Amino acid sequence: MNEILVTRSSMPDMEEYIDEIRDLWDTHWLTNMGKKHRQLQSELKEYLSVENIELLTNGHMALELTLQAMNLTGEVITTPFTFASTTHAIVRNGLTPVFCDIDTDSYTIDVGMLESLITDRTSAIVPVHVYGNICNVEEIERIARKYGLKVIYDAAHTFGETYKGQGIGSFGDASCFSFHATKTFNTIEGGAVCFRDKELGNRIYDLKNFGIHGPEVVEGVGANAKMNEFQAAMGICNLRHIDEEIAKRGKVIEHYRKRLGMVEGIKINPVQENVKPNYAYFPVVFDEKVFGFSRNEIADRLAEHGIFSRKYFYPLTNTFACFNGKFDVDKTPMALHIAKRVLTLPLYADLPLEEVDRICNIILEKIR
Ligand SMILES: *Cc1c(COP(=O)(O)O)cnc(C)c1O
């Protein structure tokens, strides 16, 4: 049986990667902001159309250290419909997450509800661009300005996207990207933060390198989150092919949409206006009453055929066992509704359209 996993990491030809890393055997410079690191940094700055970017060892450290560098206090408004990383980065900074519900179309933060959650303890908003759907950045900016709040986007899913022609990483005070193996663009593990204020960037740089500010000056109690040269070399190679990869992912999604878009009981995110997409994920939401089968039944049926989808994002982060029932999930009913019904289907650049048909046939069999 031909097994299909939910994703498959993009890799350059082996020769291309070997060519890229060859000179590391001359220099023996393997990490600590070497040549590859600096090259990738400048290439990404251009590709993402952002003013400033700092590379890190992964997307989680980008989030965690950015929040730390801002010296935030009290409460941070975010959504539970995300990967563990977003909520953990807040909690690990000693901050209290306050969960806002999500919008029915994009599954990003519900800006209609956001303002009602702001208290005098609120210091920041951490909205998540999910699946490549971007948040309502304009409304978030308006609210943040009105109340003097920082905005740190979790942009792990929106590599390379633009909104009204502007790089998505240029919104808010900072945007954190993930270059994990499973993401649209990868450096094996890796991440970056794009930011507005250069001073903030300096603090993040210090935090990623033990707080070392000069050869003999240690100014902060930093961590270690440096992207190494092998990671950066992978990024340099993958970036050469990224437009082609995204275009191929787009073809896969177009085919899924054609097959599933009009089916009663299956909900697919509407295409967002003014957004250059990156086709990061393909989530579908099953309404069992109309469609006839639940998300879990479909996931099991696909698995019987060796096709592995993911219940991404389920469970919601505000229901995680580690939080011991501290958060009331009834305050985010839409997030709960979607989390119980959503399934992300296999998606990667080289997924053949015949396999997309096979997946859709399995999903649609037994209905009519
Ligand atoms: C992948 C991901 C992260 C964390 O990134 P890593 O590079 O795996 O540390 C954070 N937030 C979201 C929404 C993600 O999908």
| Tens of pLDDT, residues 51-80 | 999 999 999 999 999 999 999 999 999 999
Q: How many CB atoms lie within 10 A of CB 51?
A: 14
Distance 44 CA to ligand 1 centre (A): 18
* Nearest-atom index, ligand 1, CA of 63: 10
**What is residue 1's predicted lDDT score, i.e. its pLDDT?**
65
- Please give the average per-residue pLDDT across 144-163, as a whole number: 98
Summarize pLDDT for 186-203 with one digit per residue, the tens. 999 999 999 999 999 999
pLDDT at 292: 96
Phi first, then psi, for residue 153 (nearest 5°) are: -80, 135
pLDDT in tens, 98-140: 999 999 999 999 999 999 999 999 999 999 999 999 999 999 9
Which residue CA neighbors atom 5 of ligand 1 most closely? 59
- Report how far ligand 1's centroid is from the alpha carbon of 113 (Å): 25
Quickly state the pLDDT bin for 205 (edges 50, 70, 90): very high
Residue 368 confidence (pLDDT): 58
C-alpha to C-alpha distance for 45 and 208, rounded to whole angstroms:
19
Ligand 1, residues 83, 135, 193: which to mutate, most atoms within 8 A of Cβ?
83
pLDDT at residue 364 greater than cutoff 70: yes
Work out the pLDDT band at 244, boundaries 50, 70, 90: very high
Residue 340 has pLDDT above 90, yes or no: yes
**Token pair in block for residue 48:** 């993402």
Tokens of 51: 């003013």
Mean pLDDT of the chain: 97
- Considering the chain, what percentage of its residues have pLDDT values greater than 90? 97
Span from the CA of 59 to the centroid of ligand 1 (angstroms)? 5
Q: What local confidence, expressed as pLDDT, does residue 334 receive?
A: 98
Confidence of residue 180 (pLDDT cuts 50, 70, 90): very high
Distance CA 121, CA 110 (A): 20
SS (H, E, C) 123-169: EEEECECCCCCCCCHHHHHHHHHHHCCEEEEECCCCCCCEECCEEHH
Residues 6+ apart with CB under 8 A from 78: 86, 87, 90, 97, 98, 99, 100, 109, 125, 126, 127, 128
Report helix, strand and coil shares of the chain as percent, to nearest 5.
Answer: 40, 15, 45
- CA 165 / ligand 1 centre spacing (Å): 24
Peptide bond into 313 cis (omega under 30): yes
Please enumerate in sequence order all residues whose Cβ is within 8 A of that of 288, keeping only pairs 6 or more positions apart, or say none.
Answer: 265, 294, 295, 341
Cα(61) to centroid of ligand 1, in Å?
Answer: 9
pLDDT of residue 2: 80
Q: Assign 33 a pLDDT band (cuts: 50, 70, 90).
A: very high
Q: Alpha-carbon distance 334 to 336, whole Å?
A: 5
Residue 55 phi, psi dihedral angles, 5° rounding: -90, 145
SS3 at position 353: helix
Rounded to the nearest angstrom, the distance between the alpha carbon of 296 and the centre of ligand 1 is 24
Ligand 1 pocket mutation pick from 6, 106, 154 by most atoms within 8 angstroms of CB: 154
Question: Which atom of ligand 1 has the smallest separation from the CA of 179?
Answer: 7
User: By alpha-carbon position, which residue is closest to atom 13 of ligand 1?
Assistant: 83
Find all residues with CB under 8 Å of 258, minimum gap 6, and list them: none
What are the tens digits of pLDDT across the range 1-20?
689 999 999 999 999 999 99
User: Residue 85: is its pLDDT beyond 90?
Assistant: yes
Site of tokens 């989808």: 309
d(CA 147, CA 151): 11
CA 186 to chain centre: 12
- Position 232 scores a pLDDT of 98
Q: Pick from 58, 49, 53, 18: which is nearest to 237 by CA?
A: 18
Domains of the chain: 14-237 (3.40.640.10), 242-364 (3.90.1150.10)
Atom of ligand 1 nearest to the CA of 58: 7
| Ligand 1 geometric centre to CA of 314 (Å) | 15
Q: Check pLDDT > 70 for residue 227.
A: yes
DSSP-derived letter for residue 220 is S
Q: How far apart are CA 83 and CA 324, in angstroms?
A: 18
CA of 191 to the centre of ligand 1 (A): 8
Cα(156) to centroid(ligand 1), Å:
5
Which of 60, 91, 131, 152 is the best mutation target for the ligand 1 pocket, counting ligand atoms within 8 Å of the beta carbon and taking the most? 60
pLDDT of residue 241: 98
Who contacts 304 (Cβ-Cβ below 8 Å, separation ≥6)?
A: none
Instruction: Please name the helix (run of DSSP H) or strand (run of DSSP E) that holds residue 55, with its range, or none.
Output: strand 53-56
Residues whose beta carbon lies within 6 Å of some atom of ligand 1: 58-60, 82-83, 85-86, 128, 154, 156-157, 178, 180, 191
Tokens of 292: 């006839």
State residue 162's pLDDT score.
98
pLDDT of residue 214: 86
Burial code of 136-173, b = ≥16 C-beta within 10 A, e = fewer? bbeebeebbeeeebbbbbbbbbbbbbbbeeebbbbbbb
What's the pLDDT at 115?
Answer: 98
pLDDT for the residue numbered 70: 98
Nearest protein Cα to ligand 1, atom 10: 85
Question: Which of 59, 41, 38 lies closest to 50 in space, CA to CA?
Answer: 41
